[in-house]
Amino acid sequence: MRHNRIYDMIEAVHRAGSIRKAAEETNITSSALNRRIQAFEEEFGAEIFERLPRGMRLNPAGELLLHHIRMQRQDLARVHSQVADLSGVRRGHVKIACSQALLPYFLPRQISIYRAEFPGVTFSVNVRDRIQAERDLSNFESDLALVFEPAHMVDFKILHAVHQPIMAVMSRAHPLAGKTELRLRECLEYDLVLPGPQYGVRGLLELAAQRAGRKLEPVVETESFEMVRHYAAFGQSIGFQIPVGLDQLARPEMISIPLSQIDVAGGELLLGHQRGRTLPVAALKFASQVAKALSTR
């Protein structure tokens, strides 16, 4: 929206940290930008930036204002979305923050299904760990978050929750491959490949191991769930993953077996948005599709 360009400028200065840097990115001269900022502060009745020798930083008033700006921009997007919806054409853009587990199969499929019906809707998918995903919602950078075992849950309004047991992933040639359920102690006899400590799966496993008086000593620790799966499928190691991250179609070389609920209770995969906001139509529709898919899988 052109008439609110001053808001974009304020955000640009905030991001860039100085008028001159922000000026480049805004395609405007620093003098013009400077005067716009000054004029705005004049009209607003208070300074919103601290002038430091190395640039500009938002003061508390500016923080307050920035939050308002983001709120109002988001709400305008919702209005746009609703207007598009009532004209019959479904347009819009949905921004999703999700954990890695959703990337290989679940989200691509869901987005593809949704876009088959509403080709006017586009998507941004950002991989975030559970902490970052929540921050994304608070910062207005995502409409929806789809995360396993979120941490704080402030500002997080749950739209849908589904329980996810922990699955052990291994090669079909693995000695344990024939079982239908595994105990944790069985797995600990073998090499483990685990995600880093910031991930929910790891947290749940650590907890279970501690309770059993054991300690997890992974031979491979990685940030990539893909690495976990493929390393496990390749060698004699055992990896772990939640069902939503595993292909519904069985893979020839890989098998997944649930861990006994006695050892590891599993966790919740949550779909949510920022508390207190009204979602754009597209995001809302997509969320309800995802919720349905999650509960019927």
Residue type, 60: P
Instruction: Report what 185 binds from DNA, a copy of itself, none; CB cut-off 5-8 Å by kind.
Output: none
Nearest to 1 by CA among 95, 79, 91, 65: 79
Q: How far is the CB of 47 from DNA (least distance, A)?
A: 8
d(CA 181, CA 107): 27
Question: Based on CB atoms, which residue is closest to DNA, 38 or 72?
Answer: 38
Among 56, 94, 102, 290, binds DNA (CB under 7 A): 56
Q: How far is the CB of 103 from DNA (least distance, A)?
A: 37
The first and second tokens of residue 57, run together, are 């930083």
The first and second tokens of residue 128, run together, are 């975030």
Segment 287-295 long-range contacts (CB within 8 Å, at least 24 positions apart): 287/144, 287/159, 287/160, 289/110, 289/113, 289/114, 290/110, 290/144, 290/146, 290/160, 291/159, 291/160, 293/106, 293/110, 294/160, 294/162, 294/244, 294/269, 295/160, 295/162
Instruction: Report what 28 binds from DNA, a copy of itself, none; CB cut-off 5-8 Å by kind.
Output: DNA
Helix ranges restricted to H, the chain: 5-16, 19-26, 30-44, 60-86, 106-117, 130-138, 184-187, 200-211, 225-234, 281-295
d(CA 167, CA 162): 15
Residues that bind a copy of itself in the complex, under the rule CB under 8 A: 1-4, 6, 40, 43-46, 60-61, 64-65, 67-68, 71-72, 75-76, 79-80, 82-84, 86-87, 276
Q: How far is the CB of 42 from DNA (least distance, A)?
A: 10
Among 39, 83, 131, 177, binds DNA (CB under 7 A): 39
Question: Based on CB atoms, which residue is closest to a copy of itself, 76 or 177?
Answer: 76
Among 19, 97, 133, 194, binds DNA (CB under 7 A): 19
Instruction: Report what 249 binds from DNA, a copy of itself, none; CB cut-off 5-8 Å by kind.
Output: none
Q: Rule CB under 7 A: is residue 28 a binding residue for DNA?
A: yes
Question: Based on CB atoms, which residue is closest to DNA, 56 or 193?
Answer: 56
Q: Which stretch binds DNA (CB under 7 A): 46-54, 115-123, 124-132, 228-236?
A: 46-54
Q: Rule CB under 7 A: is residue 55 a binding residue for DNA?
A: yes
Tell me the HSE value of 243 on the side-chain side, using a 13 A CA sphere.
Answer: 16
Q: Which residues bind DNA (CB under 7 A)?
A: 5, 13, 18-21, 27-32, 34-39, 51, 53-56
